Amino acid sequence: MSTVSTAPLVVLVGPPGVGKSTVAALLAERVGAPLRDSDADVEAAAGRPIADIFVEEGEEYFRGLETAAAAAALAEPGAVVCLGGGAVMTPAVDEAVSAAASAGARVVMLDVGIADAARRIGLNQSRPLLAINPRASWIAMMETRRPTYERLATDVVDTAGRDVDSVVAEVEALVRDAS
């Protein structure tokens, strides 16, 4: 007798610039799963970009929207879930990711170094927490966040110097191995 999992298929976590949204979209397409991107869900619900939410309402307001979006995404069985870089720093999201992993979801940390992150996002695009002194901000952010990413992750995939197809293939193999 097989049981139907109520967990997402996979949850992608990691820093800004690692490619979570791109990898999630391609992976969802390849495995035929629904895609849930908490940043996209926040923007859709708010009707404006995250950078505007930060400027107009502040980080605390944004984190409230993000927590609700993450909770909804993590409750979708079989989904490919992509969480914003800071989402797991909120205790409720951290707990929800841990619960998803306990229920069978793969939690994959996509990792990247500063050199690759700088090339990918320029460290100056619409990323509110990186607006002032982007390099130093990114490094400080990673010192704070890396232990949480690593603690939550069932797997770590290094994206440094790799094309998106090879990263998606590695994550897909992890997901298939778990089934």
Token representation of residue 6: 């109520």
Specify the pLDDT at position 112.
83
User: So what's the pLDDT on residue 49?
Assistant: 94
Confidence bin at 6 (pLDDT 50/70/90) = confident
Question: What confidence tens digit (pLDDT) does each residue in 92-149 have?
Answer: 999 999 999 999 999 999 998 665 665 555 544 545 545 556 667 777 888 899 999 9
Look at residue 124 in the predicted model and tell me its pLDDT: 45
Does the structure show a pLDDT above 80 at 172?
yes
The pLDDT assigned to 93 comes to 97
Cα separation of 130 and 157, whole Å?
A: 23
**Is residue 14 very low, low, confident or very high in pLDDT (cuts 50, 70, 90)?**
very high
Average pLDDT over residues 165-176: 95
pLDDT (tens digit, 9 = 90+) per residue, 29-87? 999 999 999 999 999 999 999 989 988 999 899 999 999 999 999 999 999 999 999 99
Q: Give the per-residue pLDDT at 17.
A: 76
Question: Quick one: three-class SS letters along the chain?
Answer: CCCCCCCCCEEEECCCCCCHHHHHHHHHHHHCCCEEEHHHHHHHHHCCCHHHHHHHHCHHHHHHHHHHHHHHHHCCCCCEEECCCCHHHCHHHHHHHHHHHHCCCEEEEEECCHHHHHHHHCCCCCCHHHCCCHHHHHHHHHHHHHHHHHHHCCEEEECCCCCHHHHHHHHHHHHHHHC
pLDDT at 1: 36
How high is the pLDDT of residue 82?
97
Tell me what pLDDT residue 136 has: 73
Q: Measure the CA–CA gap between 61 and 30, rounded to whole angstroms.
A: 35
* pLDDT for position 3: 46
Question: 160: pLDDT confidence band, cut at 50, 70 and 90?
Answer: confident
Residue 17 vs residue 151, higher pLDDT: 151
Q: What pLDDT is attached to residue 2? A: 41
